[in-house]
Structure 1
C-alpha cells in the first residue's frame, strides 16, 4: 500500500491499483483484480470549506463530519450559515444508511458516492442538492460532473481509469433551499426500499430526487411544487427497467411507494414555512 501525500502520488491509479479512503466497502468483500492500494487520507483535504460557489465537501470527509454539519456549527474551515437550511439533508441522508456509528467515523462521502449503490444515502443527499463532482484526471486537469449524471448504474460511475473524486460542490442556491425527506423500508432497521428528497428554491423551482428505489438517482424538475397528478405523470415516465429489484423490495412496490413519498414531500414543500400541514 502507498500513502499519497500530493497529487503526483495518484498517477499510479488505474488497472490493478485502487483508492483507499474509509475502506468500509473495500474491505467488506473480495476485490478481485486489485493488487495495490493508494491511501488518500493523508492528502490533508479539509472536510468542509465555504467557497464563492457554496460549500465544498472533500471526498475524504467522514460520514460523522458530514452528518454533523448543521447551520451555525463550525466544522473544518466552514461555519455553516444559519440561512442554509438545505444542509438538513446531510444528516437525513446518513440516517438512511444501514450502518453503525463506528462505520460513520470511518466511511467517507467520496466512498459512498463512488460506490454508486442504489441505497447510497450520502449520494442521495448531495444529488438532491444539485451537487457537482470535482474530478482530478491523471493528466493533471480537472473536470466537473453533475451528480445527477455521475452514477450510471449499480456500482458503475462516470469516473474514467485513473480519475479521482476530489470533492463535491453544493451551490449556494441549494443551501438556501427548503428541503423535505421521506424514506421507507420493509423493516424498521432495514435497508431503504425507497427514498425521496425534495428541494424548493427561493424562486419556487422544485426538484424531487428518487434513490434506493431506482438503480441510479432520478431527479424530477418542476417550476413549482408539483401536484399529485404531475408527480404521478412524471414517475410513470421513468423507464421501467430503472426500478431496482432485490430482497429489499420488488420493482412494482418500489414504484408505488415512491409515488406516495413524493406526494408527501411535495405537500411539505408546498406549505409555507411555519404553517401547520
Structure 2
C-alpha cells in the first residue's frame, strides 16, 4: 500500500544522520507491516537498512542479531554445531502466518517492535534469553531483556526516538535443548498459543506467548515438577490472557497448561 501521507524519506548512512524525534516519524526495517495498511499519522520514514548493519555476527560466546536481519536470514543461517538451540529460529518462523516473501523482507527488530502477541521472533528471543541493545536519541544506548520489552498487545518500552539496534543471545542458551509447541484454531491459522521450553546448564526456562498479551517467562534451576509448571501457568494474571477471534481466554489458558506439561515431559527426558 502506498503511504500517501509521507512527504520525507530519510536514508541515514551513520548514526549521526538519524533525525531527532518528531511526531509522524516511522522507522523502517522491513516494512511488511508499515506498508500493509493506511498510515495517516506517518509523515516521515527513516529507512534503517541504509545503515548497513551486518545481519548476524557470531562471537565466541554469543550471537548478535541486527534489528534489520530478516527472518529468512536467521532461519537459514549456519551456526556452530554445538549451538543446539538454533533450530528454534526456523520453528518460530514457521509458526508465523507468513509467506516466503514476508520471510525475506520482515525483520527480527520489526517483529519485536511491532509487539504483537503472535510475534514469533519475540518468542524466540525471550526463550533464548535475548538482550536488546536500544539506541537512545541522545546518542547513548541502553540494554533490556527481551522478556520485559513487550508490555502489552502492540506496546513495548521504546520511548520516542528510540531504535532497536540488535539482540544478543549468550552461548549458554544457544547450547541448550529446546521443545516447541503451537496450537491454533486452524492448521494455518494465527497461533492461539506458542510455547518454548529450554533446558541447559542454567536450568529450565518456559516461555509462553501468543496466548497472552505479553510474554510470560518462568525459570527453574532444575527440571520442574508437573505441579510447579501448573502453578506457573495458574500464576499468569487473568488480564494477560488474550481475547480475540483466534482464541478465548479460557481456551488459551487450558491449552497452554496442556502444552506446558508436554514440554516439561520432553525436556525431562532430554528429548530434542
TM-score (norm 2): 0.94
- What is the aligned partner in structure 2 of residue 109 from structure 1? 108
- What is the aligned partner in structure 1 of residue 127 from structure 2? 128
Structure 1 gaps of 5+ residues are 74-79
- What is the aligned partner in structure 2 of residue 252 from structure 1? 250
- What is the aligned partner in structure 2 of residue 39 from structure 1? 47
TM-score (norm 1): 0.92
- Do residues 228 (structure 1) and 250 (structure 2) align? no
Offset, 1:2: 1.2
- What is the aligned partner in structure 2 of residue 76 from structure 1? none
1:215-244, CA deviations, whole angstroms, 9 ceiling, x for partnerless residues? Answer: 000001112222221111111111000000
Offset, 1:202: 2.0
Is the alpha carbon distance of 1:51 and 1:255 closer, same or farther for their aligned partners in structure 2, counting shifts above 3 Å?
A: same
Alignment of 1:75-86 (within 5 A): 80-86=79-85
Alignment of 1:140-179 (within 5 A): 140-179=139-178
Secondary structure of 2:125's aligned partner: helix
Is the alpha carbon distance of 1:189 and 1:11 closer, same or farther for their aligned partners in structure 2, counting shifts above 3 Å?
A: same
CA contact (8 A) 1:226 1:266 kept: yes
- What is the aligned partner in structure 2 of residue 96 from structure 1? 95
- What is the aligned partner in structure 1 of residue 195 from structure 2? 196
1:100-147, CA deviations, whole angstroms, 9 ceiling, x for partnerless residues? Answer: 001111100110011000000111001100000101111111110101
CA contact (8 A) 1:96 1:121 kept: yes
Structure 2 gaps of 5+ residues are 1-8
- What is the aligned partner in structure 2 of residue 27 from structure 1? 35
Q: In structure 2, what is the Cα distance between the partners aligned to 1:90 and 1:100? A: 16
CA contact (8 A) 1:13 1:19 kept: no
Q: In structure 2, what is the Cα distance between the partners aligned to 1:158 and 1:14? A: 17
Q: In structure 1, what is the Cα distance between the partners aligned to 2:206 and 2:39? A: 34
Offset, 1:88: 1.3
CA contact (8 A) 2:185 2:192 kept: yes
Q: In structure 2, what is the Cα distance between the partners aligned to 1:89 and 1:10? A: 33
Q: More displaced, 47-56 or 141-150?
A: 47-56
Secondary structure of 1:145's aligned partner: strand
Alignment of 1:201-220 (within 5 A): 201-203=200-202, 205-220=203-218
CA contact (8 A) 1:4 1:38 kept: yes
CA contact (8 A) 1:13 1:38 kept: no
CA contact (8 A) 1:116 1:157 kept: yes
CA RMSD of aligned residues (A): 1.2
Offset, 1:53: 4.3
Q: 2:267 aligns with which of 239, 246, 269?
A: 269
